[in-house]
Chain A
Amino acid sequence: MYGLEAINASNGWAISVVGVTIVFTGLVMLSIVIAQLYKVLALWENPSKIKALFKKKQPEKPREEQISNRVVFAESQKEVVKQFALLVRTMTDHFSLPRLLQLALISDLKDPYLNLNNLFKTKIIVPDGSGFFTWDKDMFDKLIS
């Protein structure tokens, strides 16, 4: 028996289809591995990334803290904030925010509304719970000085 008859008799077609499938699958997998190889090489070059992968996620900071971190004072704003600090020094420890705003307007400070809002957002000005506010000197020193 020769030729196609012999192939049919020995399940040659099925064997060849299985063979082609195995080779093709192997080539696809090999190409995927090669395509991702750059990531492995990057880890090889910078092992600290491996540690970062296994490092526990830090708990999310409270929203207020995020806001506080988001406000970055420009140099000109820092000057205005220092002027606000001077105004606050003329007031009592627990001061009135509308009064501070009024003083800022009278003193012709730049962008008094925006800057007062920034002082509140950065928690340099903190509510005392009774309708008045206090000046957090530590936060002021940290963000402005």
Chain B
Amino acid sequence: MSNIKEILKESSVFICLGEDERVSLAQLFEKREIQAGDILATAEDAAQYFFLLNNGTVLLAMDEGKSVVLNKAGDFIGFELLSAKGIYRTTLTVLESGSVFAVPTQDFLAFIQKESVAATAIMTAWQGYLDKTASFAKNIEDISLPYNF
């Protein structure tokens, strides 16, 4: 898969979106090729982008040595998995070359705030995704407040 709309359609986090919402959201993403060893995000830096994996493998290193490996198309790397209060809290390293779709955090959170119905659906799906992928990373008290990310 290489089309952002297709990925959004397949992603368990965004599968709940309607066609119009998916089209608007897709416009915010830009594709980036990634190479093994690239650092996509560094802990303590300003959180500029969230990422949606197209192909390849990334290692998400968290506090206290914890980590998660993501390698499925449609894996979303954002919200508390990546940042808190506008700061990256994890470091994202590429293990296997491929590509990701990057979305500016501000634009993404603005979309969430504007589209309240879509936001609710995304956040519900996100909690399910997080339970399956990295339940140990859930530590945001109020997921309805975008500034938490």
Contact = CB atoms under 8 A, between A and B. Distances in A.
A96 B59 CA distance: 11
A99 B59 CA distance: 12
B93 A101 contact: yes
Contacts of B65: 96, 98-99, 131-132
Indicate the size class of the contact surface on chain A.
10 to 19
A98 B136 contact: no
Interface stretch (A10-18, A32-40, A41-49, A113-121): A113-121
Q: Which of A96, A121, A131 has the most CB of B within 10 A?
A: A131
Contacts of A113: 36-37, 93-96
B134 interface: yes
Contacts of A98: 59, 61, 65, 67, 91, 93
Interface string A55-90: 000000000000000000000000000000000000
Nearest to A114: B36
Contacts of A116: 59, 95
Is chain A's interface secondary structure helix, strand, loop, or mixed overall? helix
Interface in A93-121: 96-99, 101, 111, 113-114, 116-117, 120-121
Q: Which of B37, B67, B91, B134 has the most CB of A within 10 A?
A: B67
B91 to A, nearest CB: 7
A130 interface: yes
Nearest to A98: B61
Interface residues of B, number: 22
Nearest to B37: A113
B62 interface: yes
Contacts of B37: 113
B136 A130 contact: yes
B67 A117 contact: no
B67 to A, nearest CB: 5
Contacts of B134: 131
Contacts of B68: 127, 131
Interface string B67-82: 1110100000000000
A92 to B, nearest CB: 10
A117 B137 contact: no
B83 interface: no
Nearest to B66: A131
Contacts of A133: 67
Contact of A114 (B59, B62, B96): B96
Given A113-B96, A117-B95, A97 B67 contact: yes
20 contacts: A96-B66, A96-B67, A97-B61, A98-B61, A99-B65, A101-B59, A111-B36, A113-B36, A114-B36, A114-B96, A117-B57, A120-B71, A120-B95, A121-B71, A127-B68, A127-B69, A129-B135, A131-B62, A131-B134, A132-B65
